[in-house]
Amino acid sequence: MNNEASSVPSRLFYRRRILFFAAAGVLMTFVQLPAVAGDEAGVKKQLPAFPGAEGFGMFSRGGRDGKVFVVTNLDGRGPGSLREAVDAEGPRIVVFAVGGTIDLGGPLPIRNPYCTIAGQTAPGGGITLKNGSLIPQANHLIVRYIRCRLGEQAGAPGSVDAVSIYHPLDKDDPDRPVASNIILDHVSASWGTDEVLSVTGSVDNVTVQWSIVSEGVTTHNCGSLLRPSVECHMSFHHNLYAHNRSRNPFAGSYRDRANHCDWRNNVIYNGGDGHGGTNWHKLYPDRWGPDNVGRLRLNCVANYWIRGPQGSGTIYRGGDQATIHQSGNLHDDTKNGILDGVDKGWAVFANYHEKARFTRAANEFSYPRVTTDSADVALERVLNEAGASKPQRDAVDRRLVQEVRTGKGKVIRSVSEVGGWPELAAGTAPADSDQDGMPDAWEKTHGLNPAAAGDSRLDADNDGYTNVEEYLNGTDPTE
């Protein structure tokens, strides 16, 4: 967990669109409390962050209706840098006119609300961040198609995450989530020295989807710590976890607040000598104290565990504060190089201790709908689609996917063991005369004016998405 301090972001108020959104003929509704997830009475229907956004964080506004910032260089700070755009105030959409690796030279917190980072706009080999943790810690954030590859020089073992969704507690109202409505989509995170990607602190309504969480380094090398300090709702779906020694994930909470976690259609490979787990510290109150006793309400549905060369046979250990529903999960522990997992039910779930037994739930918790594949279908979809795949996967993600398919690879301690950061082509961005985030050719094709920057904020087809969002989403602004 990364504990860099942050000021509480100021609130901005905007005209709200109350819209209905249909996907595959199914009305999707957002709720803040799982207890009423199936009750549509009084529940507002909102616009998803982008087509395909699902789970608790799906209704993030991001930078909708805001200013477009164009990243023009790979500097860690200064004019034209990613940091300059992220640090700006007000709604903003960040696009890229250059591809390559950005040496952050320190953490990159997103402190100000209403921000979209659109890594899919980068030319060449796309964007990689190194030597600094990405810290989403404000309301309404969208991060897509970015690689966050930290590296061991960024911190001592157990000190820094590659991605840390985190905000300190509000001192005046510690039960109030300070940062909410955050979605990460097609993010590739690796080489963290604490966890690779974590959700902690004062946050709520989070989705991490279609991402790759891999290769923690140093002696800690853990996947994800999902332990907020307020009541929190989070969705993790269609992600690949590979070569993390432990915490695949470790889910629970601090301060005896409930974590409502929907964990489905994820692929977990070569979990080292560790496994997934939940809070169990209530067994040792003299050692851990009351702030480490947390509650978990977990859906564990249609995931695919592959033991790998160093993996453990147990996929999850529960504690006495956890209630878990599991169904449709496949477990492949043969190490025969063939992906042939079978459903072992509760046999691969264990308790930390006879006196710290989790509770089995026969039915799923009623959380926001996520399109759910069978575990074997999810396996192929995740291997083919997850991570920062636009404009293209880098050599690291290609290697990881190949290792999953062939049963190869290992838990590492140093980036040097896998060749370090690959070189990325800078590429050439398409012409954008008015710097509104939409290429001239695309604007002309769709009847927009490539010399009028103001049309990026307009909504030509009145569907709720602005014209620049239609470009980012690969949709038609006239339909």
Give the tens place of pLDDT for each residue, 103-141: 999 999 999 999 999 999 999 999 999 999 999 999 999
* Per annotation, catalytic residue among 64, 144, 149, 247: 247
Percent of the chain with pLDDT over 90: 73
HEC secondary structure over 345-372: HHHHEEECECCECCEECCCCCCCCCCCC
Give 26 or 274, the one with higher predicted confidence. 274
Name the helix (H) or strand (E) containing 441: helix 440-445
**203-254 confidence digits (pLDDT tens):** 999 999 999 999 999 988 899 999 999 999 999 999 999 999 989 998 888 8
**2-37 confidence digits (pLDDT tens):** 433 333 233 232 223 323 333 333 333 333 333 323
**What is the residue-wise DSSP string for 213-272?**
EE---TTT-B--EEEESS-EEEEEES-EEES-SB-TTEE--STT-EEEEEEES-EEE--T
- Residue 40 pLDDT greater than 60, yes or no: no
- Which residue segments constitute the domains of the chain, with CATH numbers given? 67-418 (2.160.20.10), 434-479 (no CATH)
- The number of CA neighbours under 13 Å toward the Cβ of 438 is 31
**What is the residue-wise DSSP string for 374-402?**
-HHHHHHHHHHH-SS-SS---HHHHHHHH
The pLDDT, as a whole number, for residue 292 is 52
The pLDDT, as a whole number, for residue 17 is 31
In this prediction the pTM is 0.89
**278-335 confidence digits (pLDDT tens):** 654 444 444 444 455 568 899 999 999 999 888 776 676 666 678 999 999 999 998 8
Active site residue 399: no
The pLDDT, as a whole number, for residue 291 is 53
CB 123 within 8 A of CB 428: yes
Q: Can you tell me whether residue 87 is helix, strand or coil?
A: helix
Q: In whole angstroms, give the CA distance from residue 256 to residue 197.
A: 22
Side chain identity at residue 473, one-letter code: N
CB 214 within 8 A of CB 163: no
Q: Which residues contact 206 (CB under 8 A, 6 or more apart)?
A: 56, 57, 165, 182, 183, 199, 232, 233, 234, 235
- Residue 453 pLDDT greater than 90, yes or no: yes
